[in-house]
């Protein structure tokens, strides 16, 4: 550990890890979570679903292909802090325009390296995701724990309105425009919009607080509810608007946070998971086809299967823990998945879901 750049992580239960600062200097507070992806750190950092969280990468070497301008998933990085075993100072890739170190520093993201990330991840798996701080300035554990315990808890926290677009905008179709989708931006990733554009859809992206009447006045062929951060149970006003949209019988597709909001809109409940799913290797069984998909995830809340009404069926389950990974309404043209079919990063097994939504609009 460099004596000139010491840094510390302190968890709310008092467990601490000391390492070396990289990226920006200062203090970062958030829920400590981990991601098991081997690549895709730039897409992870710019995924708005990580707002309010400090991300630990389980793969030991991060930053080795640098950073480029094409792989960002939103207008800026949203992770509160970044934790790695070793941060590469060399970006070996022809697309690289900047090192991870300078990218984090430029965007005021506090990072730490040189800690035992295996021990940190095992602690989180055992004790559960919890509040934490990374600090390069205050290294006193007693002082830091007081600050951590006064920081906001993820349960009950509403974050979608902090990451959403300030105003509506258009994302054009990449081919002949066949359908018009209105997408709620709860923390939408750019690759979702690219996927729709690829299938001939023009997308109007609207802020999280947009009313059902405003959405319907845009005369969409379908409605998309995006991924995003925070506790879905904190978004009761949005859930009420989703109920109205579902009643309009417009085709509706939700992913991640959007999936959880659909579950609540139909009378289900959500709960906070012990440590969540974050990574590109989660096995999901499609109960309709019997096939298993390897999928990309980023969520700490899930829908309670036992709370769902009779007219909503579970279509996908996570084979690691049997949590709900997909829903479908038996009467209304509404379906959703808990994972990220747009990938970026991750496998592309689930791209068919975008085609499924297009076919639903065709009908």
Catalytic residues: 256, 340, 342
Q: Are the beta carbons of 313 and 328 closer than 8 angstroms?
A: yes
Q: Are the beta carbons of 42 and 20 closer than 8 angstroms?
A: no
Phi-psi region of 127 (alpha: psi -120 to 50; beta: other; left: phi over 0): alpha
Rounded-to-integer distance, Cα 306 and Cα 323, Å:
11
Nearest to 156 by CA among 256, 235, 255: 235
Nearest to 256 by CA among 315, 298, 209, 288: 298
Please compute, for residue 55, the number of CA atoms within 13 A of its CA located in the half-sphere on the CB side: 31
Using the 8-state DSSP alphabet, how is residue 98 labeled? B
Which pair of structure tokens corresponds to residue 102?
């300078």
CA distances from 87 to 30, 41, 114 (A): 21, 11, 8
What is the DSSP pairing of strand 270-286 with strand 110-113?
unpaired
């Amino acid at each position: 550990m460099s004596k000139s750049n010491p840094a510390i992580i302190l968890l709310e239960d008092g467990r601490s890890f000391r390492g070396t600062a990289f990226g920006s200097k200062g203090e970062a507070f958030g829920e400590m979570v981990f991601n098991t992806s081997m690549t895709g750190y730039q897409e992870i950092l710019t995924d708005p679903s990580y707002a309010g969280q400090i991300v630990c990468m389980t793969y030991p070497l991060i930053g080795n292909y640098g950073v480029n301008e094409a792989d960002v998933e939103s207008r800026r990085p949203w992770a509160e802090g970044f934790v790695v075993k070793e941060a590469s100072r060399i970006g070996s890739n022809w697309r690289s325009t900047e090192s991870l170190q300078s990218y984090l520093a430029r965007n005021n993201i506090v990072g730490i390296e040189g800690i035992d990330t295996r021990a940190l991840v095992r602690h989180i798996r055992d004790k559960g995701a919890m509040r934490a701080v990374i600090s390069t300035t205050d290294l006193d554990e007693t002082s830091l724990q007081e600050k951590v315990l006064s920081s906001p808890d993820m349960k009950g926290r509403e974050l979608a309105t902090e990451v959403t677009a300030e105003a509506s905008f258009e994302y054009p179709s990449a081919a002949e425009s066949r359908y018009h989708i209105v997408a709620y931006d709860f923390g939408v990733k750019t690759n979702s919009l690219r996927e729709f554009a690829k299938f001939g859809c023009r997308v109007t992206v609207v802020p999280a607080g947009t009313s059902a009447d405003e959405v319907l006045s845009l005369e969409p062929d379908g409605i998309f509810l995006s991924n995003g951060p925070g506790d879905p149970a904190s978004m009761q006003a949005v859930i009420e608007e989703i109920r109205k949209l579902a009643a309009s019988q417009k085709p509706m597709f939700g992913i991640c946070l959007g999936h959880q909001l659909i579950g609540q809109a139909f009378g289900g409940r959500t709960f906070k998971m012990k440590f969540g799913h974050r990574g590109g290797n989660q096995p999901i069984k499609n109960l309709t086809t019997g096939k298993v998909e390897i999928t990309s995830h980023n969520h700490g809340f899930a829908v309670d299967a036992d709370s769902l009404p009779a007219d909503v069926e579970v279509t996908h389950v996570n084979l690691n823990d049997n949590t709900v990974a997909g829903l479908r309404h038996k009467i209304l043209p509404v379906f959703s998945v808990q994972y990220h079919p747009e990938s970026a990063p991750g496998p592309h097994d689930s791209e068919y879901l975008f085609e499924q939504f297009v076919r639903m609009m065709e009908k």
